[in-house]
Amino acid sequence: MLVSLSRRTKFDAAGIQFLHASLATPQVDLSSRPPLPSQDTGITLASGARAGQLVPHSANLSHPASELSVTRLYNAAIVGGGTVLAAQPWTAVLGRAGLSALTDGVTYAVVLVGPRADHSSASKLWNPALITVVPVEGE
H helix runs in 24-137, sequence order = 90-95
Furthest C-alpha separation in the chain: 46
Domain presence at residue 3: no
- Average pLDDT of the chain to the nearest whole number: 88
Q: What is the pLDDT of residue 93?
A: 94
Residue 9 falls inside a structural domain: no
Is residue 24 in a domain? Answer: yes
Residue 8, domain member (yes or no)? no
Rounded distance between C-alpha atoms, residue 118 and residue 129, angstroms: 7
What CA–CA distance (Å, rounded) separates 131 from 117?
Answer: 9
Strands (E), 67-138: 75-80, 83-89, 107-113, 130-136
Residue 26 has pLDDT above 90, yes or no: yes
What does the buried/exposed string (b/e) look like for 98-133 if buried means 16 or more CB atoms within 10 Å of the residue's CB?
A: ebeebebebbbbbbbbbbbbbbeeeeeeeebbbbbb
For the chain, the domain total comes to 1
**40 part of a folded domain:** yes
CATH label of the domain that carries residue 59 = 2.60.40
Sign of CA dihedral 14, 35, 123, 100: positive
Residue 1 placed within a domain: no
Give me the domain span that covers residue 51. 15-136
Say if residue 71's pLDDT is above 50. Answer: yes
Q: Is the pLDDT of residue 58 over 60?
A: yes
Q: Tell whether the model's pLDDT for residue 69 goes beyond 80.
A: no
Confirm whether 5 is domain-assigned: no
In a domain, 4, yes or no: no
